[in-house]
Amino acid sequence: MPSQSMHRRASRYFQDLQDRIVSALEELDGRARFREDSWQRPGGGGGRTRILADGAVFEKAGVNFSDVHGQMSEEFAPQVPGEGREFTACGISLVLHPRSPMVPTVHANFRFLSKGERQWFGGGADLTPYYPYREDVIHFHKVWQRVCTRHEPLVNYAHMKKWCDDYFFLPHRGEARGVGGIFFDYLEGNLRALFAFVRECGDHFLEAYLPIVQRRKDEPYTEQQRVFQEYRRGRYVEFNLLYDRGTIFGLKTAGRTESILMSLPPCVRWEYDYHPEPGSREAELYEVYLKPRDWANE
């Protein structure tokens, strides 16, 4: 299938997915609604940034769509597969920061890119809890395992799960960002089949995350637990600014800065030389949940 045709199909799907996710999140939050900013990229293309702020459930939620094209800089182009500097890219990217520390932060991204003769899909979804519940982590992973299994041997859940564990890792801290999920990039070849897989991933995001929010959004929490949430959000900021491919790609291709940095939480803190109290739920996060584990088969 020609890449231009696939680009158009992927772009339409990502816009529709943005609409569906935004509608579901507004219904769940019950108080706040998304603000939309439509923007144009100098050099080609644009997007729709949708941000919800100060909601009953979500302190900040961003669900972005973009469809851009143009030329990469001479410095950045060699870092991306394909010849030359001309590129196209479309996708959806979301980060949801809940108000309650009992509800995990979640990230998902699905995209289609082309450069020269190369075209590929990338994306994934990962969960970042502050006070994890075992059944929630298992549920999240099982959804993605089922999705991947339906598309074997084109994709492999165990491989994408490990890819996620390896990718969402902070080398300078020696620790994971969260409990993972799936991650994939540079998937090329049978674009029709890969697009079917990506669509199923997008269609199952709400199934993977919303039941967790419904179970935890009314759990009581203390101010001390809120402080720990803000401290752990610092790890989220560090990863997104130092390592995240989407952030780097957007900034290096003259994307809209406000939209790129919507992933950052509104309130965050850094504590000097923090160590959790032994035996605490905070210590459990480090000792149990931030270690790679086959959650889907627990």
Residues classed as catalytic: 107
**Please, are residues 117 and 4 in contact by the beta-carbon 8 Å criterion?**
no
Inter-CA distances, 36 with 26, 129, 297, Å: 13, 27, 40
What is the maximal distance between C-alpha atoms in the chain?
A: 57
- Token pair, residue 188, equals 């090329």
Rounded to whole angstroms, the Cα distance separating 256 from 48 reads: 10
Nearest to 254 by CA among 50, 40, 18, 35: 40
Signed CA dihedral, 98, 103, 109, 110: sign only: negative
Rounded to whole angstroms, the Cα distance separating 245 from 251 reads: 10
Nearest to 98 by CA among 1, 202, 236: 236
- Whether omega before 81 lies within 30 degrees of 0, making that bond cis, reads no
Nearest to 110 by CA among 67, 60, 157: 67
Residues 6+ apart with CB under 8 A from 227: 269
With residue 187 as reference, give the H or E element that holds it: strand 180-187
**Please, are residues 103 and 217 in contact by the beta-carbon 8 Å criterion?**
yes
